[in-house]
Structure 1
Amino acid sequence: MKQRWKLQALICLGVIALACLPGAHAQTPKPLRIGLIGPFSGPSSDFGNPMLNGAKLALDEINAAGGYLGRPIEFVIKDDTANPDVGLQHSQELVQDGVVGTIGFCNTGVAMKSLDVFQQARSPLIVPCATGTPITAKYPAAESYIFRTSARDAIQAPFVVNDIVARGWTKVAILADKTAYGEGGLADVTKALATKQLQPVYVGRFDTGVKDLQPELKAAQAAGANVVFSYTVGPENAVIAKGRQALKWNVPQVGAWPLSFPFFLDGAKDAAEGALMAQTFIAEPSNERRISFLTAYNRKYGTRKIAVPMAAAQAYDTVYLLTYAILSIRNGDLSGPSVKNALENPPRVYYGVTATHERPFSKDDKDAITSNMLVMGLVKNGAVTFAYPEDRTRNLFVQRKQ
């Protein structure tokens, strides 16, 4: 609530200044347009729609406080359907529409195919969901127009590996799909294991859409694995869990944030119990900011449960970060290079839901999330909670980037 009052005061000052300009009352202010792209239908809509809803919630609050210097802000919304070719076409349309920036992408493969569009147009893109490490590594940081507010797999994988090794689970089987997301995740997990002088005892690859992974699970079991690290974004995570259960192979399943998705929780049901995954946000009212966000989201969308809380919270924070950057531009230059510079040089702290963003981006760093902001989530009674009581306590204080 305090954060919203600060934003409202900032916007009001701008509105007063704008009202003093000659001809300020001559016409209705033209909306400021921001692109919003993601999988709002299709196989990845389970986390695309929470991303969309979180972004809309933030925009409603910002417009209620005055928008951009009295101008309403509106989204130009594009549904990429989790299809790289569709995403590419819509990305080109957004750039042609002249949006001041774009928020989007949940799927690493879709994002990767569209990055050149934004980079070549010098139009800032902030990724609130997709976590594939290559997304923010494709271009030299100083030149890059690609920013991110989700936790890249290069920090999620070591975070989970550190946890399972501390638990004594060192015989790791990796099951990864053949998408760009699975390929990158496999590389990140293997690299993280190598830092512990470990290597996977088994690696299984599979196509998305597969309904049976018994051969791969049996091979992992025969290799002596005592933990299964799964890297896929869809229902295949549930296929793995149910396959273990059918084999009566009682070893833990761990992974990155897709183990908190409905595809896994609802698809695997009791076979999902005990699974562990990296999280930036767990939907429990652990502090004032999160209580405010959860209450507002549930009221607006008439729900008591967010399908993928991380997607919603990260998108919500992303809209505020982009708005803060735009509001800091004093000379009216909303060109891509100007917005990029504003994102890299934030004028004030944003007290967000997932993190306290003091300096989320810089010329040399386009990733807002660092590993200290992560917590380990645990599936318990069909929902995700904190794996460790001390994390619940630590979560009272929203973490800052290190």
Structure 2
Amino acid sequence: MKASWILAAALFSAGAFAQGAPVRIGVIGPFTGGSADVGTAMLNGIRMAVDEINAVGGYLGRSLELEIRDDFAVPEKGLAAAKELVAQNVVATIGVCDNGVGMKVVDVFQQAKVPLMIPCATGTPLTAKFPPAQSFIFRTAPRDAIQAAFIVDDILKRGWNRVAVFADATDYGSAGLHDAVQALARQGIRPVYTARVEANAKDVVAQLTEARAAHANVILSYAAGPEAATIANGRKAMGWKVPQVGAWPLSFPNYIDGAYGGAEGSLMAQTFIAEPSNERRAAFLSTYARKFSMSRIRVPMAAAQAYDATYLLTYALLGIHNGDLNGSAVKHALETMPRVFYGVVATYEKPFSLEDKEAISQNMLVVGLVRNSSVTFAYPEDARRNLFVQRKK
């Protein structure tokens, strides 16, 4: 891909190709269990980037080597995995898809002063737990605070102002519920109904009946794929044709497939839609399909954001010329990246700083639409705008 040639030029300009021990990078995510679609897409994006980077010299001639740990989307297992990675002396870790896991592991990486780059988990508290200037927690996924604001703006533009909010009973749902209510409040709107959905709930018709009685004209869901699918199945069983909108889990296969057609027409915030809308994205999609022998990426955002995160980390490492890749040096390099990286999700010009650990801003988001069991652009103008990869604002 073009990115690897750009990296090759950076390596040559840095006087590369002195041989040395591999640079060890941790990876943590759910690679088995109900969240495996997200975790595997993330891991594939990381592996694809690492293979490209190693093909042109890695870090100053030292190959990148992945230390991979499965967290099973279970907080205690994630905690143990994070401690193992720190003990392995990784220079940084890329990962975390589950917000409950994230709230456990950020403490480990922060205390060890090992940068953690989060390409999947979107819970707003993950990067707000520590003062920005001291924080070793970085993110290339859109935090829920901007997803909520973005999707609220869209539903109000469509004239849907009687909002029922359904949130699952996880850390993700709690944080998302807070962000959704805050986003509505900034528009002078209060939800007409609020519900919490228990994990693995099979039936929420009673709550949906109450939401309909409150005359809701849209459901804003902050729930993982299976719980969001339960909401969609309930709407379908009731014959209630109210639209369901939400954050990026509405693009997950366990929502779209699990809703048995009830997901059609759902709208959600997206950073990346798997359509070849420009040269970078076309190259990414074709390389991914060829490398992993699949025509469809199960969770495209996870793959693309992880791919970009891996390149951003490598670009930061290239700013450290003396080979001393201690955590504080890597943190500083991420905060002061001099080069622009032309990524798949975005064009990254100074993506991080001492006071800002979020690479994604609200202007980078587009509205995704479930159509024929796939996610496409909801608006033609978004598809046209996506010809030009957005920069942070």
Q: Which residue of 1 aligns with 2:197?
A: 206
- How far the C-alpha of 1:390 sits from its partner, in A, is 0.2
**Is the 1:80–1:90 Cα contact (8 Å) retained in structure 2?**
yes
Counterpart CA distance in 2 for 1:273 and 1:316 is 29
What is the CA deviation profile of residues 246-295 of structure 1, one whole-angstrom value per residue up to 9, with x for unaligned ones? 10111000000000000111111321110000000000000000001001
What is the CA deviation profile of residues 220-255 of structure 1, one whole-angstrom value per residue up to 9, with x for unaligned ones? 111110001111113111111111011011100000
- How far the C-alpha of 1:10 sits from its partner, in A, is 2.1
One-letter code aligned to 1:168: G
Spell out the pairing of 1:354-369 with structure 2 (5 A cutoff): 354-369=345-360
One-letter code aligned to 2:264: E
- How far the C-alpha of 1:178 sits from its partner, in A, is 1.0
Q: Which residue of 2 aligns with 1:350?
A: 341
One-letter code aligned to 2:80: Q
Counterpart CA distance in 2 for 1:114 and 1:307 is 25
- Is the alpha carbon distance of 1:16 and 1:379 closer, same or farther for their aligned partners in structure 2, counting shifts above 3 Å? closer
Q: Which residue of 2 aligns with 1:57?
A: 48
Counterpart CA distance in 1 for 2:311 and 2:319 is 12
- Equivalent pairs counted in the alignment come to 393
Counterpart CA distance in 1 for 2:230 and 2:288 is 31
Kindly indicate whether residue 242 of structure 2 is the aligned counterpart of residue 233 of structure 1: no
- How far the C-alpha of 1:13 sits from its partner, in A, is 4.7
TM-score, normalising length from structure 2? Answer: 0.98
Match of 1:67 among 20, 45, 58: 58
**Is the 2:166–2:196 Cα contact (8 Å) retained in structure 1?**
yes
Kindly indicate whether residue 304 of structure 2 is the aligned counterpart of residue 305 of structure 1: no
Spell out the pairing of 1:68-83 with structure 2 (5 A cutoff): 68-83=59-74
Q: Which residue of 2 aligns with 1:4?
A: 4
Q: CA RMSD in A?
A: 1.0
- How far the C-alpha of 1:203 sits from its partner, in A, is 0.4
- How far the C-alpha of 1:387 sits from its partner, in A, is 0.4
Counterpart CA distance in 2 for 1:16 and 1:395 is 35
Counterpart CA distance in 2 for 1:321 and 1:96 is 24
Spell out the pairing of 1:323-402 with structure 2 (5 A cutoff): 323-402=314-393
SS of equivalent to 1:70: coil
SS of equivalent to 1:78: strand
Q: Unpaired runs of 5+ in structure 2?
A: none
- How far the C-alpha of 1:2 sits from its partner, in A, is 3.5
- How far the C-alpha of 1:347 sits from its partner, in A, is 1.6
SS of equivalent to 1:377: strand
Counterpart CA distance in 1 for 2:54 and 2:4 is 11
- How far the C-alpha of 1:14 sits from its partner, in A, is 4.6
Kindly indicate whether residue 99 of structure 2 is the aligned counterpart of residue 96 of structure 1: no
Spell out the pairing of 1:225-264 with structure 2 (5 A cutoff): 225-264=216-255
One-letter code aligned to 1:11: L
**Is the 1:12–1:65 Cα contact (8 Å) retained in structure 2?**
no
SS of equivalent to 1:103: strand
Spell out the pairing of 1:264-303 with structure 2 (5 A cutoff): 264-303=255-294
What stretches of structure 1 move > 3 A for 4+ residues in a row? Answer: 12-17
- How far the C-alpha of 1:374 sits from its partner, in A, is 0.1
SS of equivalent to 1:347: coil
SS of equivalent to 1:205: strand
Kindly indicate whether residue 99 of structure 2 is the aligned counterpart of residue 108 of structure 1: yes
**Is the 2:225–2:250 Cα contact (8 Å) retained in structure 1?**
no
- How far the C-alpha of 1:16 sits from its partner, in A, is 4.8
TM-score, normalising length from structure 1? Answer: 0.96
**Is the 1:378–1:386 Cα contact (8 Å) retained in structure 2?**
yes
**Is the 1:15–1:70 Cα contact (8 Å) retained in structure 2?**
no
Counterpart CA distance in 2 for 1:388 and 1:119 is 40
What is the CA deviation profile of residues 374-398 of structure 1, one whole-angstrom value per residue up to 9, with x for unaligned ones? 0000011110000000000000000
Q: Which residue of 2 aligns with 1:188?
A: 179
SS of equivalent to 1:365: coil
SS of equivalent to 1:269: coil
